[in-house]
Chain A
Amino acid sequence: MKEGSASPTASPAFAVLRAEAFGVQALRRHDPALAGRPVALLTGAGREFVIAERSPEATGIRPGDPAALALARCPGLCLGERNVEAEVEAQRLLLAAALALSPRVEATAPGMCTVDLQGADAAATDTALRRRLAELARAGLEVRAGLAASPLVAAYAARRADATNPVLVVTDPATFLAPLPLAWAEPAPACAELLEHWGIRTLGELTALPKADLANRLGTAGVALWERSAGQGVRVLRLAEPSRTFAAEWSYEPPVESLPPLLFRLRRYAERVAFELSAAHCVADGLALTLFLEDGAEHRREFRLPEPCGQPDRWMRVLQAHLDTVRTAARVRAARLVASPARPPQVQDGLFDTGLQDAPAFWDNLARIAAIVGDERVGTPEPGDSPRPESFRLRPPAEAIPPPAPAPVHAARGPVLRRFRPARPVCVACAGRRPVRIEGSGWQAAVRDARGPWRASGEWWKPRAWAAETWHVELAAGGLYQLARAGLAWRVEGLLD
Chain B
Amino acid sequence: MPTGVAALDTALGGGLPIRQLTELVSGAPSSGGQSTLGRLLSVTRAARQRVALVDGAEAFDPLAVPPDDLAHLVWVRTRSVAEALAVADVLVRDPNYAAVVLDLRGCGERSLRTLPATAWYRLQRAAETGSAAVLIQTEAPQVAAAAHRLLLPSPWSLAWATDLARAELAAQIAAASLRGRPTEERATA
The answer to whether A and B come from one shared complex is yes
Residues of A within 8 A of B166 (CB): 411-414, 416
For the complex, give the distance between the alpha carbons of A420 and B57 in Å.
Answer: 8
Cβ of A316 under 8 Å from chain B: no
Contact with B along A376-412 (1 / 0, CB 8 A): 0111111100000111101001100111110010011
Question: B39: shortest Cβ distance to chain A, in Å?
Answer: 9
Cβ of B87 under 8 Å from chain A: yes
Cβ of A479 under 8 Å from chain B: yes
Q: Are A381 and B73 in contact (CB under 8 A)?
A: yes
Q: Are A478 and B72 in contact (CB under 8 A)?
A: no
**Of listed A373, A378, A411, A416, residue having the most chain B CB within 10 A:** A416
Q: Which of B30, B59, B74, B157 is in CB contact (< 8 Å) with A379? A: B74
Q: Are A362 and B94 in contact (CB under 8 A)?
A: yes
Residue of B nearest to A449 (CB): B158
For the complex, give the distance between the alpha carbons of A101 and B165 in Å.
Answer: 63
Contact with A along B82-117 (1 / 0, CB 8 A): 010011001101111000000001100000000000
Q: Which of B62, B83, B94 is in CB contact (< 8 Å) with A383? A: B62
Residues of B within 8 A of A361 (CB): 94-96
Question: A425: shortest Cβ distance to chain B, in Å?
Answer: 17
For the complex, give the distance between the alpha carbons of A473 and B157 in Å.
Answer: 10
Which residues of B153-168 are within 8 A (CB) of A? 155-159, 161-167
For the complex, give the distance between the alpha carbons of A186 and B151 in Å.
Answer: 86
For the complex, give the distance between the alpha carbons of A154 and B48 in Å.
Answer: 57
Contact with B along A360-380 (1 / 0, CB 8 A): 011001101100110001111
Q: Which of A378, A421, A473 is in CB contact (< 8 Å) with B75? A: A378
Q: Which of B31, B57, B86 is in CB contact (< 8 Å) with A497? A: B31
Give the size category of A's interface with B. Answer: 35 or more
Question: A63: shortest Cβ distance to chain B, in Å?
Answer: 51
For the complex, give the distance between the alpha carbons of A346 and B67 in Å.
Answer: 28
Q: Are A417 and B61 in contact (CB under 8 A)?
A: yes
A-B interface pairs (CB < 8 A), number: 183
For the complex, give the distance between the alpha carbons of A217 and B164 in Å.
Answer: 109
Cβ of B4 under 8 Å from chain A: no
Residues of A within 8 A of B90 (CB): 365, 368-369, 372
Cβ of B64 under 8 Å from chain A: yes
Residues of A within 8 A of B169 (CB): 413-415
For the complex, give the distance between the alpha carbons of A358 and B96 in Å.
Answer: 6
Question: A300: shortest Cβ distance to chain B, in Å?
Answer: 22
Residue of A nearest to B32 (CB): A497
Residue of B nearest to A377 (CB): B77
User: Contacts A413-B165, A416-B37: A495 and B78 contacting too (C-beta < 8 A)?
Assistant: no
For the complex, give the distance between the alpha carbons of A379 and B29 in Å.
Answer: 28
Residues of A within 8 A of B95 (CB): 357-358, 361
Cβ of B66 under 8 Å from chain A: yes
For this complex, 14 residue pairs linking A to B, each with C-beta atoms less than 8 Å apart, are A361-B96, A365-B93, A369-B76, A372-B87, A373-B78, A390-B63, A412-B166, A414-B164, A418-B61, A479-B28, A479-B30, A480-B158, A496-B161, A497-B34
Q: Are B35 and A415 in contact (CB under 8 A)?
A: yes
For the complex, give the distance between the alpha carbons of A258 and B86 in Å.
Answer: 22
Cβ of B79 under 8 Å from chain A: yes
Q: Are A418 and B59 in contact (CB under 8 A)?
A: yes
Q: Are B30 and A478 in contact (CB under 8 A)?
A: yes
Q: How many residues of B contact A (CB 8 A)?
A: 62
For the complex, give the distance between the alpha carbons of A369 and B84 in Å.
Answer: 10
Q: Nearest 3 pairs between A and B by C-beta?
A: A479-B29, A381-B62, A497-B34
Contact with B along A430-454 (1 / 0, CB 8 A): 0000000000000000001111000
For the complex, give the distance between the alpha carbons of A415 and B164 in Å.
Answer: 9
Cβ of A472 under 8 Å from chain B: yes
Cβ of B70 under 8 Å from chain A: yes
For the complex, give the distance between the alpha carbons of A404 and B83 in Å.
Answer: 32
Which residues of B13-58 are within 8 A (CB) of A? 26, 28-35, 37-38, 45-46, 48-50, 57-58
Q: Are B50 and A401 in contact (CB under 8 A)?
A: yes
Q: Are A413 and B96 in contact (CB under 8 A)?
A: no
Q: Are A472 and B158 in contact (CB under 8 A)?
A: yes
Residues of B within 8 A of A82 (CB): none
Residues of A within 8 A of B93 (CB): 365
Cβ of B65 under 8 Å from chain A: yes
Q: Are B35 and A497 in contact (CB under 8 A)?
A: yes
Question: B66: shortest Cβ distance to chain A, in Å?
Answer: 6
For the complex, give the distance between the alpha carbons of A366 and B76 in Å.
Answer: 10
Residues of B within 8 A of A472 (CB): 158, 162
Q: Which of A356, A373, A404, A474 is in CB contact (< 8 Å) with B46? A: A404
Residues of B within 8 A of A417 (CB): 34, 61, 64
Question: B72: shortest Cβ distance to chain A, in Å?
Answer: 5
Cβ of A165 under 8 Å from chain B: no
User: Contacts A356-B96, A415-B35, A419-B61: A377 and B28 contacting too (C-beta < 8 A)?
Assistant: no
Residue of B nearest to A381 (CB): B62
Cβ of B60 under 8 Å from chain A: yes
